[in-house]
């Protein structure tokens, strides 16, 4: 089996999720600590990167990467890349894997959406409940035309660049859903769905597998709000994936989220860019990229365009350049 790594960042002692992921023999679990992490953090079968370990690793990213930030995960990604990982699975310390947790193959024939539909609410293909993913445009929430109908799906061959697995119990939704409904959700079991070019849906960093050709796209913006970080990453990634012949796929829930405590109003405030910018992000990325470039070059062009749009800052570009330098150095 190709080497696969699971990467988590945590400020807590090992959780049930960490213990269960650590027990999976086909994966190497890498946990990146932060300044708030317990000094005696320890769990068998885990590569734990303390702050000191991260600083000593020699990655350029460390020159600018903030502490006490979700982006510390990126040091974990670089460690996994250095170790030869062919697939990196992104998850969190509150997503407990079910028995048999795994992702589908990255090449195969899958139920596939029509092309060119714009944003679709993939959750509606896995539950009848009125729910939508964090980052989904608010003006589409009541628009049934942006739900994928089962009869629209066709079996097509695809190269999957990223698989997003769903999460049961407390799935990845926005603060608006949590403030006005917050029904616990257990998604239906079903075959995966792949999105064709021009059809997109926000995806997160909670139960997500990415293949090595797209590792530059793991970059987590560190100078946007916390709740926008992984959503922006996922929006930027999708047009770049299309340009290079890869697809995004969604699978049934393979983890149950026992969510760490959150203040929903603070989450709402942090999510405001998610509500305001999705369409602008996609348009900017599509303007900037070219299939003749590498994935990393297209990522850099995309962020330069986002900076022109004032969606990211010059600081973000400086950090991105360090990330890309590290990835290039590790994948020569």
List pLDDT tens digits, range 242-288: 999 999 999 999 999 987 778 999 999 999 999 999 999 999 999 99
55-81 average pLDDT score: 96
- Is 80 inside any structural domain? yes
In tens, the pLDDT along 94-124 reads: 999 999 999 999 999 999 999 999 999 999 9
Q: What is the DSSP letter of 63?
A: G
- Is 4 inside any structural domain? yes
- Is 189 inside any structural domain? no
Q: Is there a contact between 45 and 23 (Cβ–Cβ < 8 Å)? A: yes
Task: Supply the pLDDT for residue 10.
Answer: 95
With a cut of 60, say whether residue 1 has pLDDT above it.
no
Among 82, 31, 40, residue whose Cα is nearest residue 61: 82
- Is 263 inside any structural domain? no
- Is 172 inside any structural domain? no
135-139 average pLDDT score: 96
The larger pLDDT score, comparing residue 332 to residue 75, is at 75
In tens, the pLDDT along 169-194 reads: 999 999 999 999 999 999 999 999 99
Among 71, 311, 256, 267, residue whose Cα is nearest residue 173: 267
Domain tally, the chain: 1
Residue span of the structural domain in which 27 resides = 1-97
Query: Which band of pLDDT confidence, cut at 50, 70 and 90, is reported for residue 3?
Result: confident
143-169 average pLDDT score: 96
Q: What is the mean pLDDT of the chain?
A: 96
Task: Supply the pLDDT for residue 261.
Answer: 75
Query: What CATH code is carried by the domain that includes residue 19?
Result: 3.40.50
Q: What is the DSSP letter of 119?
A: E
- Is 39 inside any structural domain? yes
- Is 186 inside any structural domain? no
- Is 91 inside any structural domain? yes
What's phi and psi for 195, nearest 5 deg? -95, 130
Task: Supply the pLDDT for residue 195.
Answer: 98
Query: Which band of pLDDT confidence, cut at 50, 70 and 90, is reported for residue 232?
Result: very high
- The whole-model pTM stands at 0.97
Percent of residues, the chain, with pLDDT higher than 90: 96
CA pair distance 244, 216, nearest whole angstrom: 13
227-246 average pLDDT score: 98
34-38 average pLDDT score: 95
């Amino acid at each position: 089996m190709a080497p696969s790594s699971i990467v988590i960042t945590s400020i807590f002692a090992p959780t049930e999720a960490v213990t269960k992921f650590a027990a999976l023999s086909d994966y190497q679990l890498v946990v990146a600590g932060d300044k708030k992490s317990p000094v005696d953090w320890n769990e068998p079968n885990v590569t734990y990167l303390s702050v000191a370990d991260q600083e000593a690793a020699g990655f350029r990213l460390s020159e600018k990467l903030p502490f006490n930030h979700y982006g510390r995960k990126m040091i974990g990604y670089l460690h996994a890349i250095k170790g030869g990982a062919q697939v990196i699975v992104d998850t969190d310390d509150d997503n407990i894997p079910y028995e048999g947790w795994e992702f589908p193959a990255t090449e195969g024939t899958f139920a596939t959406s029509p092309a060119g539909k714009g944003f679709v609410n993939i959750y509606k293909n896995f539950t009848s409940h009125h729910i939508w993913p964090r980052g989904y445009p608010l003006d589409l929430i009541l628009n049934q035309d942006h739900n994928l109908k089962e009869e629209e799906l066709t079996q097509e061959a695809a190269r999957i660049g990223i698989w997003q697995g769903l999460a049961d119990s407390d799935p990845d939704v926005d603060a608006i859903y949590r403030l006005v409904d917050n029904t616990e959700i257990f998604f239906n079991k079903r075959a995966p769905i792949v999105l064709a070019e021009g059809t997109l849906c926000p995806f997160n960093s909670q139960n997500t597998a990415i293949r090595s050709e797209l590792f530059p796209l793991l970059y987590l913006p560190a100078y946007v709000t916390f709740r926008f970080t992984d959503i922006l990453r996922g929006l930027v990634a999708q047009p770049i994936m299309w340009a290079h012949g890869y697809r995004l796929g969604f699978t049934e829930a393979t983890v149950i989220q026992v969510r760490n405590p959150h203040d929903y109003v603070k989450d709402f405030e942090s999510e405001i860019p998610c509500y305001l910018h999705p369409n602008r992000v996609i348009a900017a990325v599509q303007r900037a990229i070219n299939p003749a470039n590498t994935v990393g070059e297209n990522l850099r062009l995309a962020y330069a365009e986002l900076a022109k749009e004032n969606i990211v800052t010059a600081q973000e570009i400086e950090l991105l350049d360090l990330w890309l330098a590290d990835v290039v150095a590790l994948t020569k």
